[in-house]
Structure 1
C-alpha cells in the first residue's frame, strides 16, 4: 500500500519537467492521475513548449506504476474548458483528492516581435490567473467526495523575494508579481477551505533543471548579462535542483503525513531565499 493508495490527483502542466515528475511520483505512491497541459506554442515565450507526445509519455510513465490516468490538452487560462476537463476526469476515475497546480511559464526576454504588454498579460494569465482557474475547477469534485483534500501550488523563489533583470525585461517583473500573487491565493484559500478539511500550501523551488530554464534564450541572456545570473544562485553548493527534489515535497504535502499542514509556503530552494 502506497501513501496515496485510493487517491486521485490532478496535475497541471504535466507534459514534462516538474509536472511530469509530480504525476509520476504521485502514481508511484498509489494515486490515479488527471494530467493536463496546453501542449501548444506560446508565441510570447522564446523557447519550445511541450507537444502532445510529451503528455502521452507522462501517461506511459504513470501507467508503468499500474495506475489509471486521464490526459487532456487544455489551457489553464480557459476556466470553462478546464472545469469541463477536470469534471470529466474526476467522474471517470471516481473523484478528486489532490490538486497540484503546477502550470506556469517564465522567461527573461520575450519572443521577438512581442510587446511588453503581451508578455505581461500572458505570463500573469498563465502563472497566476491559471492557478485561480485550476482551484475553482477542482473544488466541485473535491467537495463532492467529502474526503477533504490537499491543494499544492507551485510558487517560486520569486514568490519570496524580488527578482530584477536588466532594463527591458518586463517578463521578470510579470513572473515575480504573478508568483507573489500565488502566495496570496494560497493563504486566502487555506483560510476559506479549512473548515472543509481541504488543505492549501505552496512549494517554492529555486532553479530546476527543466526546459523553462535550460534553453538557448536564457543561456544567451545570461552570457550577455552575467550579473543577472546571480538571480539563480543558491546558498547550498548546487546550481540547479532536479524535478524529483520538488516532487518529494509535493508528495509529502499530498499525503496524510502533512495532514495538519495548511497555509504554508515551503521553500525547496537550496537556501536561495536566505541570501
Structure 2
C-alpha cells in the first residue's frame, strides 16, 4: 500500500540520530525519498557527545530498509553554501523537493562550557541562523517543482519560556538556546506569510524534553543534580513518560500531510503542558 508521501522528497537537517532520524525513517515509510545532512562533529560549547558519521550511516541503513532512496552528507548548517550543495546533490539524484524539516539544533546550556560567551554565539548560529540557511538553501527547489509544499521548523518549549528560571541557572548557553528558539517563531511567521501565495505551508513544533541523546546524557544529569530547580522547571504538567522522538514525528507528518493542508503559521506546543507552568 502506497504511503501518503509517495513520489515526494523530504530534506532533513540534523538527521543522524534522535528526532531527525525518526523523521527520516517515518517519511520513508510513508513513501518519501530523503535528503539528509548532519554535522557529525563536535562543537566545543556542547557538553554532550554529538552525532558521528556512523550515526548518519545508520540513518541511511534504516531508510534504505524501507525501500526508499536517501542522499546523506556531512554538512554544517552554519555553512550556507555547503547546505546548498547538499540540496543540489540530493535534488539532482532524487528529482525534486517537497518538504523541508529544519531540525538541526544544539543545547549548549549544560557543562562548564555554558558559562562561556561562545555558548551563546553557537546556539544562535546553529539554532537560528542554521534554520534560516537550511530553508533558504532548499526553497528554490521547492518552488521549482511548482506544487506547493511544507516547511516545519523544530523549535522547543523554550520558544515560549526561558530554560533558566533563577539567577543561579543563568548562563550564556541557556540565554542563547532560549533566544534562538524564540526567534525561529519569527522566522516561521515570516515564511508562512510570504510563501502562502505559493501554497507552501510553514509551521513550527515546540517539544518539551524528548528522549534523545541531547537530553539524556551525563552533562545534563550533572546540571539537574547541581541545580534541581532547573530540572523542576522542565517537568511537564501531564504525568506521562518522557516523549519519544516518534511522537514529534507524528506532529510533523500531520503538518506535511493531507490532514494538515489548511495549517500554516502555527507554533505547536508539544510539551505536556510545560508552557502552562
TM-score bracket for this pair, using the shorter chain length: over 0.9
Residue 31 of structure 1 corresponds to which residue in structure 2?
32
Residue 182 of structure 1 corresponds to which residue in structure 2?
184
Distance 1:167 1:241, change over 3 A: closer
Separation in 2, partners of 1:111, 1:240: 26
Is 1:110–1:171's contact at 8 Å kept on the other side of the alignment? no
Is 2:109–2:177's contact at 8 Å kept on the other side of the alignment? no
> Are 1:147 and 2:139 counterparts?
no
* Aligned residue pairs, count: 274
Deviation string 1:251-272 (CA, Å, 9 cap, x unpaired) is: 1111121111100011111121
Separation in 2, partners of 1:63, 1:133: 27
Residue 120 of structure 2 corresponds to which residue in structure 1?
120
Unpaired segments ≥5 residues, structure 2: none
Give TM-score, length-normalised by structure 1. 0.96
Separation in 1, partners of 2:98, 2:182: 25
Is 2:40–2:74's contact at 8 Å kept on the other side of the alignment? yes
Separation in 1, partners of 2:141, 2:4: 21
Residue 250 of structure 2 corresponds to which residue in structure 1?
248
Distance 1:141 1:111, change over 3 A: farther
Residue 103 of structure 2 corresponds to which residue in structure 1?
102
Separation in 1, partners of 2:211, 2:115: 28
Residue 215 of structure 2 corresponds to which residue in structure 1?
213
3-state SS in 1 of match to 2:42: coil
Shift, 1:175, TM fit: 0.3
Which structure 2 residues correspond to residues 59-74 of structure 1 after superposition, within 5 A?
59-74=60-75
Residue 14 of structure 2 corresponds to which residue in structure 1?
13
Shift, 1:168, TM fit: 4.7
Is 2:45–2:108's contact at 8 Å kept on the other side of the alignment? no
3-state SS in 2 of match to 1:201: strand
Shift, 1:64, TM fit: 1.0
Separation in 1, partners of 2:151, 2:204: 8
Separation in 2, partners of 1:244, 1:147: 27
Is 1:161–1:273's contact at 8 Å kept on the other side of the alignment? yes
Shift, 1:164, TM fit: 1.1
Which one is further off, 168-177 or 21-30? 168-177
Separation in 2, partners of 1:51, 1:150: 28
Separation in 1, partners of 2:94, 2:111: 39
Deviation string 1:29-60 (CA, Å, 9 cap, x unpaired) is: 11100010000011111111111010010011
Is 1:107–1:218's contact at 8 Å kept on the other side of the alignment? no
Is 1:206–1:240's contact at 8 Å kept on the other side of the alignment? no
3-state SS in 2 of match to 1:34: strand
Is 1:204–1:268's contact at 8 Å kept on the other side of the alignment? yes
Query: Which of 231, 235, 241 is the equivalent residue of 1:229?
Result: 231
Which one is further off, 64-73 or 159-168? 159-168
> Are 1:201 and 2:203 counterparts?
yes
Separation in 2, partners of 1:240, 1:61: 23
